[in-house]
Every structure is written in structure tokens, then in C-alpha cells.
């Protein structure tokens, strides 16, 4: 048999506590503003046996980072896929097409962290979801971060299999362009505020 008064009191207490929890402010690490002029988001691959390199000309990053509070740290990078360029017209012309980035249907790609972990002195691992062409996959980005006062520099890279995001479909599936592509990130940033 349930004792009604204690039970009702417990329910009332639980209900009263909900607004207090919902109203609690979200805790986040300090924000960082990226200096685009000294930062690059690039990629490297191999086509017809020859290495090539390119970069994205248009992208944004929202970064909150505190080495003493990694649980409150996060990053979200949004890339305009139509800004990809290698400097070789024969290689660049197909990139916006449906077989590659399909920029008309999917103009942006995003990387959103789910966790940032320390792996050593100034060394970290960003775990997150990389979404390209509407396909999201979990990836890990190891990086080195150096902070001096309110300035920070970050250098990281990861290799992905582009075919998992259906990049380079159709006639390009013959692997004349190696499916493995290395994404390279070099950032300079200033702590906001």
C-alpha cells in the first residue's frame, strides 16, 4: 500500500525541481575567434598516381575551448563545399558535380565535436561527426594546440575514405583518384573578450 502523503509530496518536489533544472545556464568554455588570413583548411590526395593538394576557400568555425575544462569545450566547422580548389582546372571542374560534392544539393559540409580529449602535452583528440552530402560519419581528429596568453595555434589532420560519403561516385569509382584523402587543419585564433 502506498502512503499517499509522502508519495504526493515526493511527486510535488520532483515537479517543482524541473523548472530549476531547465533554467540552469549551459556551461561552455571561452570562445575563440579564428584568424582566417593565417588559417587553412586543406586536403591532400593522389590522382592517377600523382599527389595533389587543395583547400577550401570559404568556411567558418565556432570554437569554445578550455584545456582545464574539456567537457565544456566544443567546435563546429561549416565548409562551403563549392569553395574547394586544387588550382588544376581539369581536377576542379568536376568537384561541384553530383558525382563529387553535389554542391547544388549539399552546399555545406560540417564537422561537429562530440568530445575533446587530452592525449598528451598540448596534444588532443577531437571526436565528432563529419557530415558531407547529407551523410554523417563519426571521425577522430588528432591535433596539437599551443596557447600563449590569448593566442592559440592548432595543427591537425585526419585521413578519410571519401567513398563512405559517396564522394567520387559513378565513373570516378575506378580509383583513378585514391579514395583516401587527408584533411589538414591549421588554425590561428584569439580568445574572445
The CATH number assigned to the domain holding 110 equals 2.40.128.110
**100 occurs within a structural domain:** yes
Query: How many Cα neighbours within 13 Å face the side chain of 80?
Result: 7
The model carries a pTM of 0.83
Backbone angles phi, psi at 165, to 5 degrees: -105, 15
The pLDDT value given to residue 28: 82
**108 occurs within a structural domain:** yes
69-95 pLDDT per residue, tens:
999 999 999 999 999 999 999 999 999
**9 occurs within a structural domain:** no
Give the angle 39-141-180 at the CA atoms, nearest 5°: 95
Confidence of residue 17 (pLDDT cuts 50, 70, 90): very low
Q: Give burial (CB, 10 Å; 0-12/13-18/19+) of 152.
A: buried
pLDDT at residue 2 greater than cutoff 60: no
The answer to whether 83 touches 70, Cβ cutoff 8 Å, is no
**19 occurs within a structural domain:** no
pLDDT at residue 172 greater than cutoff 90: no
**74 occurs within a structural domain:** yes
**86 occurs within a structural domain:** yes
**38 occurs within a structural domain:** yes
**8 occurs within a structural domain:** no
134 Cβ contact partners less than 8 Å away, ≥ 6 residues apart: 105, 106
The pLDDT value given to residue 27: 57
- Residue 4 or 174, more confident: 174
pLDDT at residue 13 greater than cutoff 70: no
User: C-alpha grid cell for residue 145?
Assistant: 594546440
Print the domain residue range for 139. Answer: 27-191
Q: Give burial (CB, 10 Å; 0-12/13-18/19+) of 100.
A: buried
**Mean pLDDT value across residues 122-144:** 99
- No. of H helices and E strands in the chain? 2, 11
Give the angle 164-49-106 at the CA atoms, nearest 5°: 30
- Residue 48 or 92, more confident: 92
Confidence of residue 19 (pLDDT cuts 50, 70, 90): very low
What is the C-alpha separation between 154 and 47, in angstroms, rounded? Answer: 28
DSSP-derived secondary structure for 39-102: -EEEEEEEETTEEEEEEES-EEEEEE--TT-GGG-EEEEEEEGGGEE-S-HHHHTTTTSTTTT-
Structural domain count, the chain: 1
- In a 3-state reduction of DSSP, which class is residue 190? strand
**Mean pLDDT value across residues 140-156:** 98
Amino acid at each position: 500500500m502506498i502512503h499517499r502523503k509522502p508519495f504526493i509530496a515526493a511527486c510535488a518536489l520532483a515537479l517543482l525541481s524541473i523548472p530549476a533544472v531547465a533554467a540552469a545556464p549551459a556551461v561552455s568554455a571561452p570562445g575563440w575567434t579564428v584568424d582566417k588570413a593565417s588559417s587553412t583548411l586543406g586536403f591532400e590526395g593522389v590522382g592517377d598516381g600523382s599527389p595533389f593538394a587543395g583547400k577550401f576557400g570559404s568556411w567558418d568555425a565556432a570554437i569554445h575551448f578550455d584545456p582545464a575544462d574539456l567537457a565544456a569545450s566544443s567546435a563546429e566547422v561549416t565548409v562551403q563545399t563549392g569553395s574547394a580548389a586544387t588550382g588544376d582546372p581539369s581536377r576542379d571542374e568536376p568537384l561541384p558535380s553530383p558525382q563529387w560534392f553535389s554542391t547544388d544539393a549539399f552546399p555545406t559540409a560540417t564537422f561537429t565535436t562530440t568530445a575533446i580529449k587530452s592525449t598528451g602535452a598540448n596534444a588532443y583528440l577531437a571526436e565528432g561527426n563529419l557530415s558531407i552530402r547529407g551523410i554523417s560519419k563519426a571521425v577522430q581528429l588528432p591535433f596539437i594546440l599551443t596557447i600563449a596568453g590569448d593566442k592559440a595555434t592548432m595543427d591537425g589532420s585526419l585521413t578519410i575514405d571519401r567513398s563512405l560519403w559517396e564522394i567520387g561516385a559513378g565513373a570516378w569509382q575506378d580509383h583513378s583518384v585514391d579514395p583516401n584523402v587527408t584533411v589538414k587543419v591549421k588554425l590561428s585564433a584569439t580568445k574572445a573578450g
